[in-house]
Amino acid sequence: MAKVFEKKGLTKKSDNISDWYHDVVLRAGLAEYSDVKGCMIIKPHGYALWEKAQAVLDSWFKEDGVQNVYFPIFIPMSLFQKEKEHVAGFSPELAVVTHAGGEELAEPLAVRPTSETVITGKFADWVQSYRDLPMKLNQWCNVVRWEKRTYPFIRTSEFLWQEGHTVHADKQDAMLMVMQALEWYAQFYREHYAIEPYIGLKSESEKFAGAQATYAIEIVVPDGKALQAATSHYLADHFTKVFGVEYLDEEGNKKFAHQTSWGLSTRAIGGLIFTHGDDSGLVLPPKVAPQQVVIIGIAGKEMADQEKVVEYAGHLHKILKDAGVRVVSDVDFRKTLGFRINEWELKGIPLRLEVGKKELEAKSVTAVRRDNFSKETVTESVLHVKIPKLLETIQHDLYKKSEQSRNDLTAEVSTYDEFKDVMANKKMFIRAAWCEDAVCEAAIKEETKATTRVLELDRVHESGKYQCVGCGEPAHRKWLFAQSY
């Protein structure tokens, strides 16, 4: 593998991943801090990544009959407080509007941290008969959760997400929806973000406030910590009972609808940065890169030379655009070559095509991969075939690398001593048998910082004869533990 070109002033990923992350967010032009603590300004390059995620997921949702809606950002406090566990879970991080129009409001308004309450309130009006079910809604919006410690993209006070809300006739149909959403998220991470995550069920203490069951996508960050990257909840009738979402079934019996909710947020972008970035900055998988290819013109000060290069670059640009490649050209000769290359590398553009006198004469380009810096010469005649192919290869290689990294960062242990050793020294994901008792879970967290992340889907029905790694009591399933972001 060719050498990584380190960037001036960019912390090395291996030196301090947290500093590195902040540097990349700023230097790659993804986001900036704002005047409000914990809120960020998402800049064009960062927002384009979000738009990519929106486009992909939105099309899948719609194919499945999910319809987009928009509910208000304000939720009357009384409405918000109807579901007990839900209030308890969200109250500490609620932003509340008490004044408006120059007067104190008779009833304070919560700024939505999630919309189960408002949306379920409307489901009660909209659902009367089994013929109204299932009803599948989604909204793309912002939500506010006043977290004490914030981190760009990973945990901001305000963030963007989509929240799907559906109601179904029975548990079975609702569970199909929960699993469908989970599958969309998994597919999104694998195919588009080129990240191999863990997928599974949350423990009682980690599940969504008000849910019967929470399923989640967990990303293994290169420092061995866990990033919850999407969730899908089975809410049973917890909210529908409180809000009176009742329908008449075929036999004329009144029944409460079974509900789901599921979401993916701008946190995904944080996972993307962490997973693929390197000492040169951001690395974007071709499928989500706003620009997949940058053509860099190289020329001396001679105007005639510059014009020839600009013309050739324009010619190549058209070939690639016609081949369906998202391409951008950089023929700004006022900046030095090194400067321009470094800027595009920081931004993570998957493939760079260098075009100068050399290439012009040979009717070719020099293609340099962002992920491993390998170079190859591609002749103009096969450009329209080879470049898309090369982008696919990069996408695939990034995914394989992510899968390898995930596996390398997962340890299987059977004793608590090993468990503690891993958490104290290497910091990784740990797969271990657990008794599923909340007190035991809390004790492990207290001592090691590790919490259960998920019970992997293929282990839900496991019935092994193990000893709990924490307390030694009988356990029948192996869970994944890690320190959470």
Window of 52-60, 79-87, 319-327, 335-343 that interacts with RNA by CB under 7 A = 335-343
92 binds RNA (CB under 7 A): yes
7 binds RNA (CB under 7 A): yes
CB of 368 to RNA, least distance (A): 5
Of the residues 179, 337, 457, 471, which one makes contact with RNA according to CB under 7 A: 337
Calpha distance 411→480 (Å, rounded): 9
CB of 320 to RNA, least distance (A): 17
CB of 251 to RNA, least distance (A): 38
- Does residue 134 have a cis peptide bond before it, meaning omega lies within 30 degrees of 0? yes
Window of 133-141, 192-200, 343-351, 381-389 that interacts with RNA by CB under 7 A = 343-351
* Residue (215 or 434) nearer to RNA, CB: 215
CB of 220 to RNA, least distance (A): 14
Handedness of CA 180, 182, 187, 192 (dihedral sign): positive
Calpha distance 336→120 (Å, rounded): 58
* Residue (340 or 431) nearer to RNA, CB: 340
41 binds RNA (CB under 7 A): no
* Residue (210 or 285) nearer to RNA, CB: 210
230 binds RNA (CB under 7 A): yes
Calpha distance 348→370 (Å, rounded): 7
Of the residues 283, 293, 368, 440, which one makes contact with RNA according to CB under 7 A: 368
101 binds RNA (CB under 7 A): no
448 binds RNA (CB under 7 A): no
CB of 157 to RNA, least distance (A): 7
* Residue (94 or 135) nearer to RNA, CB: 94
358 binds RNA (CB under 7 A): yes
Any bridge partners for residue 455, and if so which? 201
Name residue 383's amino acid: L
Q: Show contacts with RNA in window 377-406 (CB under 7 A).
A: none
Spell out, one character per residue from 264 to 283, where the chain touches RNA: x when CB under 7 A holds, - when not. xxxx------------x---
155 binds RNA (CB under 7 A): yes
Calpha distance 153→159 (Å, rounded): 8
Give a three-class secondary structure readout of 247-303.
EECCCCCEEECEEEEEEEECHHHHHHHHHHCECCECCCCCCCCCCCEEEEECCCCCH
11 binds RNA (CB under 7 A): no
Calpha distance 382→343 (Å, rounded): 28
Window of 134-142, 353-361, 396-404, 464-472 that interacts with RNA by CB under 7 A = 353-361
258 binds RNA (CB under 7 A): no
Count, residues near RNA per rule CB under 7 A: 67
* Residue (103 or 361) nearer to RNA, CB: 361
Of the residues 346, 349, 450, 475, which one makes contact with RNA according to CB under 7 A: 346
149 binds RNA (CB under 7 A): yes
356 binds RNA (CB under 7 A): yes
- Residue 442 has, within 13 A of its CA and on its CB side, a CA count of 5
338 binds RNA (CB under 7 A): yes
Spell out, one character per residue from 181 to 220, where the chain touches RNA: x when CB under 7 A holds, - when not. ---------------------------x-------x----
- The dihedrals phi and psi of 80, each to the nearest 5 degrees, come to -60, -30
Of the residues 161, 234, 247, 466, which one makes contact with RNA according to CB under 7 A: 161
* Residue (10 or 325) nearer to RNA, CB: 10
Of the residues 58, 132, 147, 473, which one makes contact with RNA according to CB under 7 A: 147
Judge contact between 437 and 476, C-beta under 8 A: no
165 binds RNA (CB under 7 A): no
- 230-257 in b/e form (b: 16+ CB < 10 A) is bbbbbbbbbbbebbebebeeeeeeebbb
Calpha distance 85→242 (Å, rounded): 12
Name residue 274's amino acid: F
299 binds RNA (CB under 7 A): yes
* Residue (134 or 223) nearer to RNA, CB: 223
98 binds RNA (CB under 7 A): no
166 binds RNA (CB under 7 A): no
| Site residues for RNA per CB under 7 A | 5, 7-10, 18, 22, 27, 33, 36-38, 89, 92-93, 145, 147-150, 154-157, 159, 161, 208, 216, 228-231, 263-267, 280, 298-301, 333-339, 341-343, 345-346, 354-360, 366, 368, 373, 449, 484-485
